[in-house]
Amino acid sequence: MASRPMRIRAVEKGGVVEVKVLMSHIMETGQRKDSSGKIVPAHFIDLVEAKCNDKTVLSAQWGPSVSRDPFLSFKFKGGKKGDKLTIAWKDNEGESRTDTTEIR
């Protein structure tokens, strides 16, 4: 199943880049039962990595209690306007997605 692109906003101000990301993912908890009473298996983003050009600026491990369509915000130093900011995620079923934006 093809996922929708992330919405990424990366803004440099005073030497600090603030990044805000909205991902598209069901983030199924593994706690919910379907109408027939069967547990819906957990399906969630478990690994996230952010890079500025080639340098890793954040990496994260998530559990299924991160909200549906996850939001992430973080800050780092050393990025300039025009630099490439890449966010990648992988989920527990092996699906993955990578999106890139330019720092403004």
Partner 1 sequence: AAQEQWNKDAFAGHSVDDVVKALKGSAAADNADVTLVAPDIAENGAVVPVGVVSKLPNTTQIAILVPKNPNALSALFDIPEGSLPDIATRIKMGKTSDIYALVKADGKYYTAHKNVKVTLGGCGG
Partner 2 sequence: MGLSNSARAAEQAAAKFYDLPRFGNVHLLHFTDCHAQLLPIYFREPSVNLGVAGARNQPPHLVGDYFLKHYGFAPGSAQAYAYTCLDFEQAARQYGKVGGFAHLATLVRRLKAGRPGALLLDGGDTWQGSATALWTKAQDMIDASLQLGVDIMTAHWEFTLGTERVQEVVDGAFKGKIDFIAQNIKTADFGDPVFPAYTMREMNGVKLAVIGQAFPYTPIANPRYMVSEWTFGIQEANLQKTIDEARGKGAQAVVLLSHNGMDVDLKLATRVRGLDAILGGHTHDGVPEPVVVANAGGKTLVTNAGSNGKFLAVLDFDVKNGKVSDFRYKLMPVFANYLEADPAMAALIDKVRAPYAAKLAEPLAVTDDTLYRRGNFNGTFDQLILDALMAEKGAEIGFSPGFRWGTSLLPGATITMEHLMDQTAITYPYTTVTEMPGSQIKTVLEDVADNLFNPDPYYQQGGDMVRVGGLRYSIEPGKPAGSRIGDMSLNGKPIEADKKYKVAGWAPVAEGAKGEPVWDVVARHLRAHKTIGKLALNEPVVKGMQGNEGSI
Residues that bind partner 1 (CB under 8 A): 16, 27, 29, 31, 46-49, 55-68, 70-78, 88-90, 92, 96, 98
Measured from the CB atom, the residue of 71 and 74 that comes closer to partner 2 is 71
Measured from the CB atom, the residue of 4 and 55 that comes closer to partner 1 is 55
Distances (CA, A) of 60 to 40, 88, 102: 25, 10, 21
The dihedrals phi and psi of 72, each to the nearest 5 degrees, come to: -140, 135
CB of 71 to partner 2, least distance (A): 8
Instruction: Tell me if 70 sits within 8 A of 2, measured CB to CB.
Output: no
